[in-house]
Amino acid sequence: MALLEVENLQTHFRTPDGGVNRAVDGLSFSVEAGETVAIVGESGCGKSVTSMSILRLIPEPPGKIAGAIRFNGRDLLKLSDREMRAIRGNEISMIFQEPMTSLNPVLTIGQQIGEALRLHQGMSRSQAEAKAVEMLTLVGIPAPARRVKEYPHQLSGGMRQRVMIAIALACNPKLLIADEPTTALDVTIQAQILDLMRDLKRTVGAAIVLITHDLGVVAEVAERVIVMYAGRKVEEAKVEELFRAPKHPYTQGLLGAVPKLGSSLTGETERLAEIPGLVPSLKQRIDYCVFAGRCPYATDLCREVTPALEEKAPGHVAACHYAVKEAVAA
């Protein structure tokens, strides 16, 4: 059994004009214990909505979540709010893009790391403070005993993101969801945070769902990649396989301007390639290929029939009528 199994997730939002925005439309994927899975795709394709759905942080209404999100076999969508609070920040935690807005300006760093430890693990104030110093050491913050007593504004952006990671890891979560964890930082700091995440992967052993625009980051950190387009998964493969032989024309487009492996460490990260054309409106039901309107290879078939997610090579699926199928072991 996988640690996380997302099955046919549908997160839709009512729009003010009475329509429905199908932000996530039938997404399925799984994450094994200790594995790092990246979710990539253009702005608005439903990456953050997917992560917020896993943590049940979608406002309902206007949002509505359907499908199943099994964590260790338990469907999170069936838990009470109280049961969910016991999981959030404890067994599953999250790092957001903007460290300043996620930290509380009037609490010290130590108090903020300690909060979750006292809530979830019943630690005393002094135990929590000792653990906070240990966590700051783990994430590479110098003079941790002094830093725990400081407030967020006394730290640089990169330090604050390290603190966010320390908070997220304090309770020893089995799953860490990192939504664009380096996007708000400048490039040298990005590289340092990435290095830290790779180190932590080895030392902490939590599974990571890494959401990013940056294929350089994916190449550095992830083992498997899910490519989303307009609320759906269009391709999934192991990292090396996806970079070596992308099957979906959308992924091929994204990889058009991909940085070389290792370049994110030298600060030369690049954003995803621009693909001409517009993402289809999520307000209509699309019962043909979601990418047909922008695809250089689209035919009438693509404009009429939704391609199923099909195994094109071992462990490599894509939703495209024309993607070449390699020999798949039976």
Ligand X SMILES: Nc1ncnc2c1ncn2[C@@H]1O[C@H](COP(=O)(O)OP(=O)(O)OP(=O)(O)O)[C@@H](O)[C@H]1O
Residues of this chain that interact with Mg ion (CB under 5 A) are 47-48
Q: Which of 12, 37, 48, 174 binds ligand X (CB under 6 A)?
A: 48
Q: Which of 25, 46, 208, 298 binds ligand X (CB under 6 A)?
A: 46
Alpha-carbon distance of 186 to 93, in angstroms, equals 24
Quick check: 136 and 143 in contact, CB under 8 A? no
Q: Which two tokens stand for residue 82?
A: 């109280």
SS3 at position 93: strand
C-beta of 102: minimal distance to Mg ion in Å? 14
Amino acid (1-letter code) at residue 164: M
CB nearer to ligand X: give 92 or 135: 92
Site string for ligand X, 212-231 (x = CB under 6 A): -x------------------
From Mg ion, ligand X, none, interface partner of 46 (C-beta below 5 to 8 A by class): ligand X
Residues 59-78 that bind ligand X (CB under 6 A): 59, 62
Q: Which of 9, 21, 110, 280 binds ligand X (CB under 6 A)?
A: 21
Residues 195-214 that bind ligand X (CB under 6 A): 213
Question: What is the side-by-side order of every strand in the sheet holding 316-318?
Answer: 92-95, 175-179, 207-212, 36-40, 224-229, 232-238, 316-318, 310-313
From Mg ion, ligand X, none, interface partner of 59 (C-beta below 5 to 8 A by class): ligand X
- List phi, psi (to 5°) of 94: -135, 145
CB nearer to ligand X: give 170 or 234: 234
Alpha-carbon distance of 91 to 81, in angstroms, equals 15
Residues 161-180 that bind ligand X (CB under 6 A): none
> What is the residue whose two structure tokens read 């290929």?
289
C-beta of 13: minimal distance to ligand X in Å? 4
Sign, CA dihedral 208-85-90-95, equals: positive
C-beta of 183: minimal distance to ligand X in Å? 9
Q: Which two tokens stand for residue 30?
A: 């799984």
Contacting positions for ligand X (CB under 6 A) = 13, 21, 23, 41, 43-49, 59, 62, 213, 282
